[in-house]
Amino acid sequence: MRTEKTLETPSGPYHHGNLRLALVEQGLVLLESSPQGEFSLRELARQVGVSANAAYRHFANKEALLVALAAEGFRRLQAAQVQAAMTVASLKEGFRQAGRAYVRFAQDNPALFRLMFGGLLSNHPSEELSQAAHAAFGTLQTSVAQLLGLDEADHRVTVSAMSAWSVVHGLSHLVLDGQLEHHGHQADALIDEVLARFESV
Amino acid sequence: MRTEKTLETPSGPYHHGNLRLALVEQGLVLLESSPQGEFSLRELARQVGVSANAAYRHFANKEALLVALAAEGFRRLQAAQVQAAMTVASLKEGFRQAGRAYVRFAQDNPALFRLMFGGLLSNHPSEELSQAAHAAFGTLQTSVAQLLGLDEADHRVTVSAMSAWSVVHGLSHLVLDGQLEHHGHQADALIDEVLARFESV
């Protein structure tokens, strides 16, 4: 996490890698705060305190930035799940906690979540994004294999992993769309109850 | 379903209800065929063969039309599921078929599916839309109650229904986003396998 101080130093020199990180970090903030994601690379550069040209050296256009934001999203989602799973002793409970972390990630980062799953993977092939998405899915696949005591390559692991992913993914979308509240449910309580059943992958 | 013939009669008189139906029917076609849903009420009126004013008598603006399209989407989704469930004898198999019909609906009507679950329910309260969404969820609740042999009002029915909905909803989104293919899976085969497990609500 970058500090406020760094972002508040408009004239400060950024090393190449640092500026990219700063643009991604502030890009994530802009994404969540602008309705329909309407912001420009120029605006982002201004907020980070560099020239538009400096920003363009890292991202050829806004699409390229969005792809980088989505990739960072997959890395953070994966990290949040791994961290949540580590807080408990049993594999089963860890799996449930990871599922809860998935839904919480969607709740906390709705615009980023929609971006990550909004067709970028198919429409804008990128090595970075593809790797980040694969790594996130790989973590799930590994957990399911451990839970079931099967080899990761076993087809049953794939089907179980996809089922588990579908549950948390569907739940996340329904929560973001306000469907749970619409049907008169207390979202948080119901999320926990659905996930309690979800241990039995 | 309206026939081609009716839509090809630009000068033909529409009764009040008929025109609304014709606008919704052709609106659904326009929605799926225009990228990002970029079409106007004026364009729709032209395609149906009436003046823009005639269309505005039914829909004050495009938002109102989109709400009507989403409501029609929920009615069709519900009908597709009921019909699929009726094709088989056992409750369990019927439930699985209804789940398959849900995912197929998303595959066949991606833009409509995204519209139905794109925040309209929260952002544009409408009696028609709310009723259609409730009715669709009600069908699911009823099936789950029958399957479990419990009263519809039983909380376990709600949790099971929400779990089942999450699976098919998540799977639908993952399919639309191309995530299954991205992770090297044959989408249709995997959908069937996930749904085969999903009988055990």
Q: Select from B118, B133, B174 the Cβ nearest to the Cβ of A166.
A: B174
Inter-chain touch A178–B121, beta carbons under 8 Å: yes
Tell me the mean pLDDT in the region B94-116.
93
Number of H helices, E strands in chain A: 12, 0
Inter-chain touch A185–B162, beta carbons under 8 Å: yes
Tell me the mean pLDDT in the region A102-120.
92
Size of interface A-B (CB pairs under 8 A): 117
Q: Distance (Å) from the C-alpha of residue B76 to the closest C-alpha of chain A?
A: 18
For B68-90, write each residue's pLDDT tens digit: 999 999 999 999 999 998 888 88
Looking at residue B8, its pLDDT comes to 41
For B21-75, write each residue's pLDDT tens digit: 999 999 999 999 987 778 999 999 999 999 999 999 999 999 999 999 999 999 9
Inter-chain touch B162–A194, beta carbons under 8 Å: yes
For A53-88, write each residue's pLDDT tens digit: 999 999 999 999 999 999 999 999 999 999 998 888
CA distance B58 to A142: 54
User: DSSP letters along chain B, please?
Assistant: ---HHHHT-TTSPPPHHHHHHHHHHHHHHHHHHSGGG---HHHHHHHHTS-HHHHHTT-SSHHHHHHHHHHHHHHHHHHHHHHHHHTSSSHHHHHHHHHHHHHHHHHH-HHHHHHHTTTHHHHS--HHHHHHHHHHHHHHHHHHHHHHT--TT-HHHHHHHHHHHHHHHHHHHHHHTTHHHHTT--HHHHHHHHHHHTT--
Q: Select from B165, B176, B179 the Cβ nearest to the Cβ of A174.
A: B165
Looking at residue B15, its pLDDT comes to 66
Inter-chain touch A166–B171, beta carbons under 8 Å: yes
Asked if B98 and B82 touch (Cβ cutoff 8 Å), the reply is yes
Q: Distance (Å) from the C-alpha of residue A142 to the closest C-alpha of chain B?
A: 14
Per DSSP, the three-state class of A1 is coil
Give the C-alpha distances (Å, rounded to integers) separating B42 from A4, A11, B7, B51.
49, 51, 16, 8
- Residues of chain B in Cβ contact (below 8 Å) with chain A: 117-119, 121-122, 130, 133-134, 137, 158-160, 162-163, 165-174, 176-183, 185, 190, 193-194, 197-198
List the one residue out of A24, A25, A29, A20 whose CA is nearest residue A3: A25
Query: Integer distance in angstroms from the first to the last C-alpha of chain A?
Result: 34
Inter-chain touch B178–A122, beta carbons under 8 Å: yes
Contacts B174 to A, Cβ<8 Å: 117, 162, 165-166, 169
CA distance A17 to A13: 11
Q: Distance (Å) from the C-alpha of residue B132 to the closest C-alpha of chain A?
A: 12
Query: Integer distance in angstroms from the first to the last C-alpha of chain B?
Result: 34
* Burial track A121-160 (b if 16+ CB lie within 10 A, e otherwise): beeeebeebeebbeebbebbbebbbebeeeeeeeeebbbb
Asked if B138 and B161 touch (Cβ cutoff 8 Å), the reply is no
Distance of CA A143 to the CA centre of its chain: 18
- Which residue from B minimizes the CA distance to A197? B163
Give the C-alpha distances (Å, rounded to integers) separating B1 from B29, B83, B170.
12, 16, 29
Average pLDDT, chain B: 87
Looking at residue A6, its pLDDT comes to 43
Tell me the mean pLDDT in the region A125-149.
91
Tell me the mean pLDDT in the region A163-188.
86
Q: Distance (Å) from the C-alpha of residue B183 to the closest C-alpha of chain A?
A: 7
